[in-house]
Amino acid sequence: MSSQIKTSPSRPRKARDVQQWDRETDVAIVGFGGAGGCAAIEAADAGSSVIIFEVASASGGSTAMSSAEIYMGGSGGTRVQKACGFEDQTEDMVTYMMMSAGPQADEEKIRNYCENSQGHFEWLVDIGVPFKDSFHKERGIMCLTDDGLLVTGSEKAYPFAQQAEPCPRGHNLYVEGDNGGPLFMKIVTENVDRRDAISVEYETRALTLIVDDDDAVIGLVIRADQKELNVRARKGVILCAGGFVMNEEMVAKYAPMLAAGNTPIGNPGDTGTGIMMGMSVGGAAINMHEGFISIPYYPPASMTRGIVINDQSQRFINEDVYHGRLGAFVLRQQSERIYFILTVEQYADYERVSYMGAEVAGTGESVQELEEELGLREGTLQQTIKVYNEDCNKGEDTQCHKAAEWLEPLKPPLVALDITPGRGTFLPYFTLGGLDTLPTGEVVNPQRQQVPGLYAAGRTACGVVRTAAGYSSGMSVGDATFSGRLAGKQAAQRKDA
């Protein structure tokens, strides 16, 4: 009669209801993206047999869709950082990442990440991930050249630069164009395929976990070829099934802030099933309200010389921050319109290279004319630009603390772009909440007691990166690959259940 009972990730199967084990392995991994692949390699290298179950017909996950920058540094600097002339202190990296993660920061996890980041770089190089010893100077969302290093966050911007020495930490794969993700997953997949201890089952959906009488996880139920099969995992199950950005209902319920976005970033499997499976056996899901939500306003880098205002003509953010931080602050305004004000030269740059999709809301031969055209209250935009231009001339942004290198008076004629959420501008988003884990990847319940036999990594877990306002490119793939490795190692060393 089991076919009449709907198998759901929210309800674990009991061991006593298992008629037979259709597969047996030491470690079972759900999902073959960056986290799952790295977990498998480490578990196999520690002597375990591994099966990866992947719902798609190929490896990749969201990592393959990303630029696959990897956020690394500290301990004096990676090989690439050093070659490019940067010295990176671990404490600066810790401070930056703690500020980024906000009050919900997991300091233990962040310290572990930063202190072992150098080692993570070396491990990646060892498995064959190539990084060129060259620095990409230009401000961009991703690196379209094959340069190995770039600034990918708000390190050089207020308030971060005032508390942590800035250093570029975005490591970009040695490949032209935005092709880091596919290359990265190709390398990881080759590493997986090379290891006899790992087998991969594609087009296989993980349905639910299997628990014994003490609620320890001892396996999982999968569906392949339209059959439900029971998998025994002697050492444990590692959930690397991505986040929940593709599950509209979950996003609405848990991360309402993301309702303002218009383009979910992730693969179709990011439906939150990994997180729900973890919750079903008592795992705590934390930080579920947070996500990356961005207005990707650069390139062109010259946009950074423009200003962003609300419908009171107020600036509210230093425009040299990471684009996700600008997105987060736009959402905090009680304002019916948000504008990006540019000179015509900056607008020419924008027209040439931007993919932000914002439309022109107004133009003006003078500030006053633009103010009128935008329907802003008389005198307000004039005052904002007067103050801003004076500050530019003095080389100090007294109001929003944009760094001096970006300060250049706004001389009419001016153009205003409408970047109000919901009015056409590209607003990509993804989730940053997931299962609470120890730095080892072991899933814990709300009282931080372990759920025996269960591990999580990547976006199924809640990792080092926790806020829209503090996100930097490379933190997610950095966290996924690093946390995947730790979970793989930890599971492999567990005594068989």
Residues forming contacts to a second copy in the complex (CB under 8 A) are: 8-11, 14, 102-104, 159, 213, 215, 250, 252-254, 256-257, 259, 272, 275-276, 279-280, 282, 284-290, 312, 314-317, 329, 332-334, 377, 379-380, 383, 387, 398-400, 436, 445-447, 449
SS3 string, the chain, reads CHHHCCCCCCCCEEHHHCCCCCEEEEEEEECCCHHHHHHHHHHHHCCCCEEEECCCCCCCHHHHHCCCCEECCCCECCHHHHHCCCCECHHHHHHHHHHHHHHHCCHHHHHHHHHCHHHHHHHHHHCCCCCCCCECCCCCCCCCCCCCEECCCCCCCCCCCCCCCCCCCEECCCCCCCCHHHHHHHHHHHHHHHCCCEEEECCCEEEEEEECCCCCEEEEEEEECCEEEEEEEEEEEEECCCCCCCCHHHHHHHCHHHHHCCEECCCCCCCCHHHHHHHHCCCCEECCCCEEECCCCCCCHHHHHCEEEECCCCECCCCCCCHHHHHHHHCCCCCCCEEEEEEHHHHHHHHHHCCCCCEEEEEECCHHHHHHHHCCCCCHHHHHHHHHHHHHHHCCCCCCCCCHHHCCCCCCCEEEEECCCCCCCCCEEEECCEECECCCCEEECCCCCEEEEEEECHHHECCCCCCCCCCCCCHHHHHHHHHHHHHHHHHHCCCCC
Closest distance of CB 335 from a second copy, Å: 9
Closest to 415 in 3D by CA, of 340, 312, 471: 340
CB of 353 to a second copy, least distance (A): 28
In the complex, what is the shortest distance from the CB of residue 248 to a second copy, in angstroms, rounded to a whole number? 12
CB of 312 vs a second copy, minimal distance in Å: 5
Q: Which is nearer to a second copy, 194 or 386 (CB)?
A: 386
Nearer Cβ to a second copy, position 65 or 257?
Answer: 257
Nearest distance in Å: CB 447, a second copy: 4
Residue number with CB closer to a second copy (22 or 212): 212
Least Å from the CB of residue 273 to a second copy: 10
- Which of 50/444 has CB closer to a second copy? 444
Q: With respect to a second copy, which residue has the nearer C-beta, 95 or 314? A: 314
Residue placing its CB nearer to a second copy in the complex, 65 or 279: 279
Question: Which residue's CB is nearer to a second copy, number 69 or number 311?
Answer: 311
Nearer to a second copy, 8 or 366 (CB): 8
Least separation in angstroms between CB 109 and a second copy: 13
| Nearest CB to a second copy, comparing residues 131 and 292 | 292
We find the least distance from the C-beta atom of residue 14 to a second copy, in angstroms, to be: 7
* Packed helices 34-45 and 475-492: angle between N→C axes, nearest 10 degrees: 30
Minimum gap (Å) between residue 386 Cβ and a second copy = 8
